[in-house]
Amino acid sequence: MLSDAGRTLAGLLTGLAVFRAIELAFPRQGAQPESPLSGIKIWLVYIAIQVVLTASILALVDSSKAVPQIDPTGIFGLPWWAVIPLVGVAFAIAQDFFFYWGHRVQHRWLWRWHAPHHAIRDMTAANSWHHWSDIAVHALFVSLPMSLLSPAFGPRPFLIGVLISWQPIFLHSATRLQFGPFLRKLIVDGRYHRIHHSLEPRHFDRNFGAVTPLWDWLFKTAYFPRGDEWPEVGLAGIEHPRTIWEWSRLPWRLRGAGAGQASPVLLEADRPADDELRANAA
């Protein structure tokens, strides 16, 4: 468990450093990313909670007895260096299927707890965190089923796991480096995922996938951005959380947070007082 936690932490911190460097070298035109320190602090707390909660849930699953370990090289009759990339792609697509449906559940019934992630206005590599309550959803909808299926995919190199963990960081990076017109139809990039965070109602509840647009396309939630479409992101009336305290307590401050991105989200602290309304009217 400790070794897995160490690899998870090392992989994520390395990914944050790599994509921060890419943002500085190839910034999005007009983007001026703020200091990553606040985002990194939130990330560290998030990872600590993730390791404990996910490990606790997966400890209940004995995956070695649920699904027999399979050697994919024996099935395909190919050398390991040819099979491993194929297995890695299959694993990523399968994981994204569970992520897709967990993500839709969050938007439909658990929006209050997912909303802090959409409150991010300065979307960068460092600001690619979710709320810590999202960890439970991810563990139940993604980690749990994938732990049962993992033996069927056979052993996977550490590099594949690292690349999968880097994908969410890339999706939120403020960089002009994106996939070309063909590859972006196969793999989700920042332009595609930014639509999911858009403030524009026509983009609401679109582009749920994090690895491939396949599931969005099959279940009719895909929106492929045109040209240089790069909408403003965030939630109307919600301030971007910049401290661990603001990030942690945001779901409890939400009022009127119904089911889905299109429903109104009101904060008690942001509602103008009656005397302020009267003064403005005067």
| Helix/strand/coil for 138 | helix
The two structure tokens encoding residue 9: 């932490």
SS3 call for 27 = strand
pLDDT of res. 5: 57
pLDDT of residue 272: 41
Q: What pLDDT is attached to residue 77? A: 62
What integer pLDDT is reported at residue 157 of this predicted model? 63
Per-residue confidence (pLDDT) for residue 153, from 0 to 100 = 67
- In three-state form (DSSP H/G/I as H, E/B as E, the rest C), the secondary structure along 190-258 is HHHHHHHHECCHHHCCCCCCCCCCHHHHHCCCCCCCCCCCCCCECCCCCCCCCCHHHHHHHHHHEECCC
The residue ranges of DSSP E strands in the chain, in sequence order, are: 254-255, 266-267
Q: Residue 258's CB: how many other CB atoms inside 10 A?
A: 11
List the chain domain ranges. Answer: 2-281
Query: Looking at residue 1, what is its pLDDT?
Result: 45
> Could you read off the pLDDT tens digit of each residue along the chain, which spans 282 residues?
445 556 667 778 889 999 999 999 998 866 666 678 889 899 989 988 887 776 776 666 655 555 555 555 555 566 666 677 777 888 899 999 999 999 999 999 999 899 999 999 999 999 999 999 888 888 889 888 887 777 666 656 666 777 788 999 999 999 999 998 889 899 999 999 999 999 999 999 999 999 999 999 999 999 999 878 999 999 888 889 989 999 999 998 886 555 566 554 555 444 444 344 334 333
